[in-house]
């Protein structure tokens, strides 16, 4: 498994106690994940090393930590070889429905999005990183940015739209580990688009989010 360990370097290098608590509460070791499933830990780790299954979003003490939704794309696609085509097709449909395909880089960008999926990054931010949720996140961030660029908090339509998009993003995003902002060198998308927006416009979210 030397190839896998090499690929895991730099993922969660110095987790704090708070990071560990978050990760162990929300993610599973590969062995825990495989319990009761018809897959073996060695199989998952081998495909991680080969780059045909996603890298884990977190690593604790050398052990990959993955969510319960880790194989949802594979299960829906019917197998590992079918994942790439299924991902592209589903993301294309979802992105077109939400009018965000250009924001994802158009047709060529679908392959980059799949590479990002395999990097494990979407497992950090999304509860279930389906192609549909990836498109929703892109649409929500784009809408929130546009609304905040021309704030009209006293306008009912503006407030309703902002509240709806923030709530939609909130429904698919994870809380993030405390150290994720340091890991990425910037505030997380939750901090920037959910927490900061709600703090800036508390009256808009008075009914809760």
pLDDT at 3: 62
Distance, in Å, from the CA atom of 11 to the CA atom of 47, rounded to the nearest integer, reads 17
pLDDT at 13: 76
How far from the centroid of its chain's Cα atoms is residue 83's Cα? 17
pLDDT at 156: 95
Distance, in Å, from the CA atom of 96 to the CA atom of 185, rounded to the nearest integer, reads 31
Are the C-beta atoms of 107 and 91 separated by less than 8 Å?
Answer: no
Distance, in Å, from the CA atom of 113 to the CA atom of 177, rounded to the nearest integer, reads 23
Q: What is the per-residue pLDDT across 159-183, written as a single tens digit (0 to 9) for each?
A: 999 999 999 999 999 999 999 998 8
Distance, in Å, from the CA atom of 79 to the CA atom of 21, rounded to the nearest integer, reads 33
Instruction: List, edge to edge, every strand of the sheet that includes 28-29.
Output: 28-29, 63-66, 58-60
Gyration radius of the chain's alpha carbons: 18
Strands 58-60 and 63-66: antiparallel
The interaxial angle of helices 83-98 and 106-119, nearest 10 deg, is 120
Distance, in Å, from the CA atom of 39 to the CA atom of 57, rounded to the nearest integer, reads 20
Distance, in Å, from the CA atom of 131 to the CA atom of 134, rounded to the nearest integer, reads 5
Tokens of 3: 């190839």
pLDDT at 186: 94
Distance, in Å, from the CA atom of 75 to the CA atom of 119, rounded to the nearest integer, reads 19
Regions of the chain short of the pLDDT cut 70: 1-6, 9-10, 207-209
Cα 68 to Cα 33, 89, 111, 165, 194: the distances in Å are 7, 23, 24, 26, 24
pLDDT at 209: 45
Q: What does pTM read for this prediction? A: 0.93
pLDDT at 106: 96
Q: What is the per-residue pLDDT across 127-157, written as a single tens digit (0 to 9) for each?
A: 999 999 999 999 999 999 999 999 999 999 9
Residue 116, CA atoms < 13 Å, CB-side half-sphere:
18
């Amino acid at each position: 498994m030397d190839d896998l360990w090499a690929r895991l370097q730099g993922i969660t290098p110095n987790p704090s106690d708070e990071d560990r608590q978050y990760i162990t509460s929300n993610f599973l070791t590969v062995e825990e994940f495989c319990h009761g499933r018809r897959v073996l830990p060695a199989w998952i780790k081998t495909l991680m090393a080969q780059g045909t299954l996603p890298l884990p979003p977190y690593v604790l003490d050398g052990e990959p930590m993955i969510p319960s939704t880790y194989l949802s794309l594979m299960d829906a696609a019917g197998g590992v070889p079918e994942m790439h085509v299924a991902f592209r097709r589903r993301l294309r449909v979802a992105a077109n429905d939400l009018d965000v395909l250009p924001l994802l880089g158009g047709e060529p960008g679908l392959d980059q999005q799949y590479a990002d999926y395999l990097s494990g990054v979407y497992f950090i931010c999304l509860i279930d990183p389906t192609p549909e949720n990836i498109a929703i996140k892109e649409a929500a961030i784009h809408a929130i940015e546009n609304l905040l660029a021309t704030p009209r908090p006293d306008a009912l339509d503006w407030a309703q739209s902002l509240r709806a998009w923030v709530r939609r993003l909130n429904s698919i995003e994870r809380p993030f580990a405390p150290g994720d902002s340091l890991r990425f060198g910037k505030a997380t998308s939750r901090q920037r688009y959910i927490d900061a927006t709600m703090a800036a416009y508390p009256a808009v979210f008075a009914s809760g989010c």
